[in-house]
Amino acid sequence: MTAKLRPLPSPRSRALLPRGLAPSLGAAALCAVAWPTLAATPTGEAAAARAKPGATTAAQQSAAAAGELANLDLLRQRLAEKLGATAPAASAHPGVMRVTNPAEGGADADATRASPSRSRTAARAPATLALAARAPGEAARPPQRRGPWSYGGENGPASWAELDPAFGLCASGRRQSPIDIRGGVAVDLEPIRFDYRPSGFTVVDDGHTIQARIAPGNTLSVGGRSFELQQMHFHRPAEERIDGRGFDMSLHLVHRDAEGRLAVLALLLQRGDEAQAVVQRVWNDLPLEKGLEQPASQPLDPAALLPQDRGYATYMGSLTTPPCSEDVLWMVMRQPLSVTQAQLDVFAHLYPMNARPLQSAAGRLIKRSP
């Protein structure tokens, strides 16, 4: 049988074509690709309907419609072959063909917009032909996390904000910690009132530092508010500086008030001849594995950590680890505590460096004891 050009599909058939397909190829190209072949191979029912002109019955109309649908399915198959597409193994919508590209939408486009690295790859890749539409209600894939935060490498402090949307303040915050405590205003600061007592505690290596979790009942009071001690942890080297001077380590005592507001007391540790008893008490109960919370064999007295000189500097800052939450009251004791080289070596063996870089003071008010 000699193939001859057949008119474009009826309006009903055109309505069944995938949205966006005809405009992408053009009506003339669509007919040139597949329709002449289809005109030469009519289905038996459609041929029978045309062979008997005259009044049409309901059965004949149904047969003609079935023929058009069969032709349309064959059109999709031939067009896919011309464009080099392959059908998926299974589809929730058989017979549906869709041409997609990054600008049009779909799962790949959503993922490209969500991931800059994928966007660069997609910009070099040609548009793809898919034979299955995205399932209704399918959500766009979220950005992939690059792993847990750390103090070095690609997941270090400069990248914290990219690892999780909850870490955004690590990059955009305006009152971040730690800072170099320079200048400020010398005033008669209110003395911090400590109510510390010997307490039970547990020790845990959380993968970022060594932390001692203190039993309830230890508080400090300042500015008309009372904060209860929650835990204390270590940094090497000290995260804070005073007038540009650095220290070997720092110890942060984290407190919380009844409304959930945080206050951190920072103690500076410097190598000396005298061992620090509380630090040694924590080292004695170090757990053998990360993540294991080790109950202490003896109680710990936080008051034994306080220096004789209670002068301090205070400012509003943030947590120094993700999520870098702000509105944290900082009190940095200016007299360092003595620790031995052996005590420094214990922590250095586990964490040679776990300090966030200094952040901009950004014009914040710093008050310090005279």
pLDDT of 352: 98
The string of pLDDT tens digits covering residues 161-212 is: 999 999 999 999 999 999 999 989 999 999 999 999 999 999 999 999 999 9
Give the lowest-confidence range in 115-129, 147-161, 244-258: 115-129
pLDDT of 348: 98
- As a whole number, the mean pLDDT across the chain is 78
Fold of 172-368: Carbonic Anhydrase II (3.10.200)
Asked whether residue 116 carries a pLDDT value surpassing 80, the answer given is no
Give the DSSP letter string of 25-74: H-HHHHHHHHHHHHHTS--HHHHHHHHS-SSPPHHHHHHHHHHHHHHHHH
Identify the CA nearest to 258 among candidates 232, 221, 212, 313: 221
The string of pLDDT tens digits covering residues 288-315 is: 999 999 999 999 999 999 999 999 999 9
Query: C-alpha distances in angstroms, 78 versus 12, 19, 214?
Result: 20, 18, 73
pLDDT of 147: 78
**What confidence category does residue 60 fall into, taking pLDDT thresholds of 50, 70 and 90?**
low
- Using a pLDDT cut of 90, give the percent of the chain over it: 60
Query: C-alpha distances in angstroms, 21 versus 97, 105, 205?
Result: 9, 14, 59
pLDDT of 83: 61
Asked whether residue 256 carries a pLDDT value surpassing 50, the answer given is yes
The string of pLDDT tens digits covering residues 150-163 is: 999 999 999 999 99
Where are the domains positioned within the chain?
11-84, 172-368
Give the lowest-confidence range in 37-41, 65-69, 188-192, 274-278: 37-41
Distance CA 304, CA 308 (A): 10
Asked whether residue 340 carries a pLDDT value surpassing 60, the answer given is yes
Q: Provide the Cα torsion 332, 242, 245, 339; round to 10°.
A: -20
Q: What is the pTM of this model?
A: 0.63
Asked whether residue 137 carries a pLDDT value surpassing 70, the answer given is no
Distance CA 364, CA 173 (A): 13
**What confidence category does residue 117 fall into, taking pLDDT thresholds of 50, 70 and 90?**
very low
pLDDT of 47: 44
Distance CA 354, CA 207 (A): 10
Distance CA 324, CA 42 (A): 70
